[in-house]
Amino acid sequence: SVPVAAISLALGGAGWLITWTGIDVSVQLASPRWVVGRTLSIYYALSAGGMAAGSWIWGSVAQNYSLTSALEGAAGALLLVAAAGIVLPVRPWEETDQESSVFHPPDVALDLKPRSGPIVAKVEYLISEENIEAFLGYMRTRRHVQSRAGARNWTLQRNLQTPSLWTETFRTPTWMDFLRLNHRLTAADKEVGQHLLSLHEGEVPPQTVLSIERTTEAIRTRTSTIFSRPPR
């Protein structure tokens, strides 16, 4: 009947608006400040694109078949999406501080330009046998955090001669990318480093060792250029 349909549509519309607003707020709060603009743009593009695609699909069904078929199909699709949420749940979001943390650039002996690179960063940890499982758990989170901020080729290595020595290694294309990576880390991301520090058994806290990659081809080219100059 019309009254039942009107009440159902009103309740469904209210639920849709509340859910839409809640997701919008969650996306903003869960995104680090440096990437929140891009996150929202992707979210809005997918949402608007989904509504446009749904309007076209169900409009075509209603035009070619019947309005009843379109409504039943849309209802079935909603049930399938709800079931997919049970099978493939979204990772729960923990309320954390997403503001960028304070970072002071390290002192280096070379005159690096913003485009100098690639930069290789290594961090060594001394971990006892009983803490390895907890260490690897924090390192999984660390890898996600560093990769999200811009780290590339992230690896974790264990020393064969000294099994308690673990080395975290990652690269950035340029020196500017390395600085941006550290500026992007939030206060919540830095907490992972504090957990790793509590497992470290060395007398000195883990230090980040920075290197810049250089190839022999570049040196040979530069040398050949020097010797190719005619004598004066």
CA distances in angstroms from 219 to 34, 117, 215, 223, listed in the order given: 38, 15, 7, 6
Instruction: Return d(Cα 158, Cα 150) in angstroms, integer.
Output: 23
Q: With 0.85 as the threshold, say if the pTM is over it.
A: no
Inside any domain, residue 35? yes
Q: Helix (H, G, I), strand (E, B), or coil: what is residue 226? A: helix
> Which residue among 38, 68, 87 closes a domain?
87
Query: 74 and 137 share a domain?
Result: no
Residues 162 and 69 in one domain: no
User: What residue numbers bound the domain in which 158 lies?
Assistant: 119-225
Q: For residue 110, what are the contacts with CB-CB under 8 A and spacing of at least 6?
A: 116, 212
Distance between CA atoms of 128 and 201, rounded to whole angstroms? 7
Which residues are CB-neighbours of 182 under 8 A, at least 6 positions away? 103, 149
Task: Please report whether residue 94 resides in a domain.
Answer: no
- Which candidate, 136, 173, 132, 183, places its Cα nearest to that of 152? 173
Q: Is residue 105 part of a domain?
A: no
Contact 174, 119 (CB under 8 A): yes
CATH of the domain at 208: 3.30.70.100
pLDDT score, position 146 = 92
pLDDT tens sequence for the chain (232 residues): 788 888 888 998 898 889 888 888 888 887 777 788 888 899 899 989 998 999 999 999 999 999 889 989 988 998 998 888 888 887 766 656 667 767 788 888 999 999 998 999 999 999 999 999 999 999 999 999 999 889 999 999 999 999 999 999 999 999 999 999 998 888 878 889 999 999 999 889 999 999 999 887 755 444 333 333 333 4
CB 208 within 8 A of CB 196: no
